Each structure stands twice: as C-alpha cells, then as structure tokens.
Structure 1
Amino acid sequence: MHDIPLNDTQRFFAEKNHNLVYKFLHEKNLPASEYYDIIIFGYLRAVQRYLTDPNLAGYSFATVAWRAMEGEIVNAHRTARRRFRVIRFVRPRQTYTGHLTRHSTPTVTDEEALRESEVALLLHALAKRVTPQQ
C-alpha cells in the first residue's frame, strides 16, 4: 500500500480533508516549512487505509489521520537520533614530524598515563556496544 498511487475517490477525499494537515501542524506548533513533507505521507496513507480498511469505519477520519501524522513525526525523530556521528580520537602524546614515521614524546606523567588508560578502557567498552558500521 505504500507505493500504490491514490485512486480518484481517494484523491478527492484527500483534497477535501487536506485542512487536517494544517490543523495538525498548527496545534502541534510545527513549522510547515520543516514538517509538511514529513507528515503528508502519513496523511496520504491514512486516506488509503481509511477508505479500504473496514475495521476503521468506527473511527472518524480525523482520528485516523491524526494518529498517522503523529507516527510520522515520531519516526522522523527516531531516525534523526539514529544517525551516527563521526568522532575523532586524537592521541595528544604523538606528534607528526612531516616524515612517514611518528615519534612519541619521551616524558609521560602518571596522570597522563592514567587518563590514557581510562580512555582505552572506555573505547574498549564502547567497541563492544556498537555495530561494525558505527
């Protein structure tokens, strides 16, 4: 049903009730410029479902559409949270000399060594929890 275009009846019904999209955006205080493209797909799927699923006959179309649009907002936020971030780890003790070899700074204090050990343990724990792609 996701890729099936609306038939004429569904298209007319969607046009007739399109004000629900703007009412939803207004009541949720969402800018149309940012969220219209997200929720319109939920709205159109609600139109298709409402006109084809007899189990929805006991509900108003506004209820079905509202739930579908809320679901699209939740999905968009969930997707945004899942996007991975690139984290760079820089080893402060090493310096690049301009050649193909690296040289470590010869003096390391106990505090620096402890910090480096903690970072290594944290990275090890983190590596256990992420997927290979992350």
Structure 2
Amino acid sequence: MEKRHALATLRPLSEEARELARRNAQTIERFLGHHRLSDDWYDVVVFRYLLTVQNWLDRPELHRYAFSTIAWRAMSSAVSNERRKQQRRIRTVSLDAPVPGTDGLTLGDTLTEDNLYYVPYRTEVA
C-alpha cells in the first residue's frame, strides 16, 4: 500500500536544503521562461520550489527522479492551482464598458426600468 504524505508546510531551510536550492535556482527562471510567465508568477512558483527542496531531502524515494523533474512538476501544479483560484474570483464589470461587437453600446445602455428585477417596498408612515 502506498504511503500518503501530509501537506508540507514551509519551514526554515537547513544548510543542506539551502545549498540544494541555490544549486538548482536556475530551474525557476527556466520554468518561467519556458511557460512565458511574467515575474508576477515568481512568488507562486518559488514557494512551491522551496517546498520541493524540503520534500526532496525528506523523501529519499523521490531520488529516483531528477530534482529538476520533481521541481518542474510541482511548479506546474502551483501555476495550475493559482489559475483555477483566479478563475473563481468575482470579476467586476463596468456598466460603462462597451459591449464587444455593438459599435459602442454599453451595458448601461441596455438597462431599462422595464427589465429591472426589484421588489417594491412600501414605506409606512406611522
């Protein structure tokens, strides 16, 4: 039966871990360049990279793969998770923004009192 590992949390790196991270730091830049990701993505991938450094040292069974392979897969996962998270965020829409393909018609132009859904409230005078 395969042993399941708990989610890792980033902790201070040992000297061995710092050296491994330093020796392979170019993996981060190659990954960002390969995927044409801006520097805005650096924070997303660097933390997963550092977790990978810890996992690599804590889990000898990973040594059958190249460190760069493990790091690359982990950083890909981090980018994928971040993109999914961004897609779930609520996006604001301006009523003054033009509707594509309508020669300048805005969302605000399409609103009329007839198509507004509202609940009329009565105010009672006491």
> TM range, normalised to the smaller chain?
0.5 to 0.7
4+ long deviations beyond 3 Å:
85-88
Name the structure with the higher helix share.
1
> Partner residue of 1:52?
58
Asked which structure has the greater RCO (Cα within 8 Å, sep 6+), the reply is 2
Give, in whole Å, the separation in 2 of the partners of 1:57 and 1:86. 46
Runs of 5+ consecutive residues of structure 1 not aligned to the other structure? 94-111, 121-134
Per the alignment, residue 43 of structure 1 pairs with: 49
> Quick check: 1:72 aligned with 2:86?
no
Q: Deviations over 1:82-125 (max 9, x none)?
A: 1123578x9732xxxxxxxxxxxxxxxxxx5xxx4xx86xxxxx
TM-score, normalization: structure 2? 0.66
Letter in 2 for 1:92: T
Q: Mind listing any 5+ residue stretches in structure 2 that lack a counterpart?
A: 1-7, 96-107, 118-126
Q: How many residues align?
A: 96
Amino acid of the structure 2 residue aligned with 1:80 = Q
Q: CA offsets, 1:71-91, max 9 Å, x none? A: 111011011001123578x97
CA contact (8 A) 2:48 2:78 kept: yes
Identity among equivalent pairs (%): 33
Partner of 1:2: 9
Per the alignment, residue 132 of structure 1 pairs with: none
